[in-house]
Amino acid sequence: MGNEKLVKETFERTGDPRLYEVARWREEELDMPLWHRRTAHMISLLERYLSAHGEANAEADEPQRLLELGCGAMAAERMLSAGGLAHLEYLPSDCFARDHRTLVLDLNDPDFVAHVPEVTVVLIGGVLEYLDEPERVLRALAGRTRTLFFSYCPRMPDQDERSRRGWKNHLTEDEMRALAHSLGSDLCVDDTFDREAKKPVRTYFVRVPDTTDPA
């Protein structure tokens, strides 16, 4: 209740939806077992997918970097080494500074991508549901990476908007799969995380075409 009260008061005082969101996430409990399990699941899948493309090693000609959007407690950073991905330099990003390294981004800002560096992997877990236009965000990010790896809880037939935790968008499984297909190639969709959950999680691994290749 304290968190809800803070968020409500912040919005009423400022009228600024950006501050509304930041106030909410500043007070959010980060030590959530479900979130940590999802992150661990995604890191495990990422190692498998990168291995299949010959990229889960430190022998690359250039540095490899992973940008995590919505980094929160930065659990992903601690899991990279244990998951066989220690060669990936970790770059955290969130809607406010979690530490001195944090790239602060407002993903609802149409121009956010101007501040995003080129990276090997963009990792997004538990974020897209809270965005105004997840399609726009993913398409913009596709221009900054060769690998997009994100989670999404698609709208199931027995759900309505009210039952979806106040999420801002409600794409179905078919809609999200079609969006992922449109972003690139070698799409891998996984549904093995917490299959019994009322709001099941899907993950989407997408290889983004290299637009600089003259072929």
Whose structure tokens read 């330099």? 89
Q: Report the pLDDT value the prediction gives residue 92, as an integer from 0 to 100.
A: 95
Looking at the predicted structure, is the pLDDT value of residue 204 above 90?
yes
CA distance 9 to 163: 24
Q: Where residue 1 falls among pLDDT bands split at 50, 70, 90?
A: very low
Q: Is the pLDDT of residue 115 over 90?
A: yes
Q: C-alpha angle with apex 40: 90 to 151, nearest 5 degrees?
A: 85
Q: Identify which has the larger pLDDT, 80 or 34.
A: 80
Predicted local distance difference test score (pLDDT) of residue 212:
55
Q: Which percentage of the chain shows pLDDT scores above 90?
A: 49
Whole-model pTM? 0.82
SS percent in the chain: helix, strand, coil, step 5: 40, 20, 40
Specify the amino acid at residue 189.
V
More confident residue, 7 or 147: 147
Confidence class of residue 10 from pLDDT cuts 50, 70 and 90?
Answer: very low
The per-residue pLDDT for range 142-181, each reduced to its tens digit, is: 999 999 999 999 988 777 766 666 688 889 999 999 999 9
Nearest to 173 by CA among 131, 201, 192, 207: 201
**7 vs 150, more confident:** 150
Mean pLDDT of 184-197: 85
Burial of 39 (0-12, 13-18, 19+ CB in 10 A): buried
Model pLDDT, residue 48: 94
Residue 25 contacts by C-beta under 8 Å, 6 or more apart in sequence?
94, 95, 96
Nearest Cα neighbor of 153 from 190, 197, 199 is 199
Q: What are 67-83's pLDDT values in tens digits?
A: 999 988 889 999 998 88
The conformation of residue 111, written as its DSSP 8-state character, comes to T
> What's the pLDDT band for 6 if we cut at 50, 70, 90?
very low
**Mean pLDDT across the chain:** 82
